[in-house]
Amino acid sequence: MRRSAVLGVIGLIGSLALVTMGTPAATAAGTTAVHNPLLKDVLAEEEEPDPDDPTQSALCQSYLGHPNPYGNPAPNVDQIVGDTVVPVGSQKGCSAAQNETTIAVNPRNPNNIVAGANDYRLFNSREGRNDSSSFAYTSFNGGRTWTNVVIPGLTFAAGGTGAFSWFDGSGDPVVAFGPNNTVYFASIVFSRSAPLGGQDATAIVVNVSHDGGLHWGGPHVIAMDGVNADGTPAVTHIFNDKPWMAADPSNGRVYVSWTKFTYDTDDNYLESPIMVSASVDFGAHFGAPVRIPPSLTGFHGGITPYDQGSNPQVGNDGQLYVAYEASVCATAACDAAGDRDATVVATSTDHGRTFRHAIVDTNYDFPDTLSGENFRLNSYPQLAYDRVNEKLTVVWSDDRNGLYDATTGASVKTNGDNVVSSSGNGKSWSRPLVIGTPQDEFFSAVAARDGEVAITSYTRHYDRNGIDLDYAYWAASGTRSLSRAATQRITTASENPQVQFLAVNPDGTEVQGVFIGDYSAVAIGNDLRIHPCWTDFRGRPGVNTPNQDAYTQSIQLRH
């Protein structure tokens, strides 16, 4: 859900009082980092459909009654089956959106793949509109065809009971495979209001499948705040956000990490540490949450608990690695010249009870959005672990090569790139490589196996003077070789990302396409086929008009 842009200058849904990385030029010059005040976002929350004002119209409505302008997307595969049409609001008549993708491959059966997304096809009668739900997309034929299954019991619209009857939406999905066809699906569930004050109710939950993703049990709670067991609201000053997950492929141990936004009784932001909870019984029960970053108590400089965007992996020896974005500051005020945002990897050798930390590199956050685009973005890292050579690879996208005004620090033109580093132990990390084109790359993901490393991301390389997007990959034997890897286009057409989700500026003007999801995904099977998974904007040509759908493709890395 990304409650806020914790770091840098992103500031969506509510900027927090954290370090703004400023610009690469400003940072190099030693400009003092800026403290952001609490500000309300002028853009729509990602799970909330467009306003119900009938005078407002999302771009997708302009295609209604006309042929889909895009051609056959093959070999790209639309994963959405049985979509619905939005009945009310500014997207009325459009097929429901799906965005914010996740994907995993069964470690013993490369034909069994499970993906997921924020899926808006369910109508919430209590709200009178479509809202986000968690859906799993399951394939048993290597990704050629897909079965869509709603994750049960999470919200009012998905049949939630007790405390879950209070929740309006769910999303921020992540999937992971354990042994014996076990699949875990983690979500955030959330309410749309806090009638008693404080923060909206949230929970981090996991549903489990034991048949490769066809059938799912009810939710197991990891953290829940703002609601009582009977489904009535309670006051909370905690907002749980964005789970990520890693499973041990040899036993029933699974880890879920997330961001815990914490406020005082006046709802002033205090901190947002990364938390982790572990299960040793295939997700049936989860232990007490453990905070990963250091506390502010006795803080004398270094990594702060002003964090977001965690991503865990489990090593062959059971060690737990968690990558995340943090602020690194001289004081808790984070207002010194040398303060910065950084990509950090924490390592635990005792199953998530204690952690040591390694700073991989400075993380140069994007401005509010890319030049000429409207959707929000971030620079969260993703982490991969190769079980053959026991190497870790971390990737994130940032704007270190963007053009900024030397006087004001304002963004002149973005140039997002994928930044990659590797490690054999989680302590020492290689000098980061910049992978990409002279145009923007963002929302990077990584997969690794048998020495092969693949990076995927969105790119503007194929529409250099416009707003259209493509999805692409870079692959090589070993992380260092990625510097010589060619850009491989995945999407068969450049696409307009402004098709759904509008916002209204204070002056009444509409802004199209303010949300496309906060990340993308890629997975790799033991057949060395990668399965990128992204938010596509073509809909299903020949069946419906352009809208956001989850797409994938099976790509052979080594023949």
Question: Cα 513 vs. chain centroid, distance in angstroms?
Answer: 17
Closest CA to 367 of 4, 13, 2, 21: 21
How is the chain split into domains, by residue range? 19-556
Closest alpha carbon to 114 in 134, 144, 139: 139
**Which amino acid, one-letter code, is at 363?**
N
Contact between residue 381 and residue 432 where contact means Cβ atoms under 8 Å apart: no
CATH architecture designation of domain 19-556: 6 Propeller (2.120)
Q: Can you say whether the dihedral through the CA atoms of 2, 6, 12, 15 is positive or negative?
A: positive
pLDDT of residue 508: 87
Torsion angle, alpha carbons of 531, 325, 11, 418, to 10: -50
Instruction: Please tell me whether the peptide bond between 75 and the residue prior to it is cis, using omega within 30 degrees of 0.
Output: yes
- Residue-level pLDDT at 342: 98
DSSP bridge pairs for 550: 535
In angstroms, the CA 47 to CA 51 distance is 12
**Cβ count near 507 (within 10 Å):** 5
In order, the DSSP letters of 273-295 are: -EEEEEESSTTS-----EE-SPP
Kindly state the DSSP code that residue 233 receives in the 8-state scheme. Answer: B
Q: H or E stretch including 225?
A: strand 220-225
**For residue 120, what are its two tokens?**
């808006």
Q: How far is CA 386 from CA 335, 344, 446, 489, 558, in A?
A: 39, 19, 11, 24, 16
pTM of the model: 0.92
| Model pLDDT, residue 53 | 61
- Which residues, given as ranges, of the chain have pLDDT below 70? 1-54, 559
**Could you please report the per-residue DSSP string of 81-120?**
-S--B--SSTTTTSBPPEEEEEEEEETTEEEEEEEEEEE-
Q: What pLDDT does 116 receive?
A: 98
Q: Side chain identity at 521, as an amino acid letter?
A: A
Cβ distance 143 to 104 under 8 Å? no
pLDDT of residue 54: 61
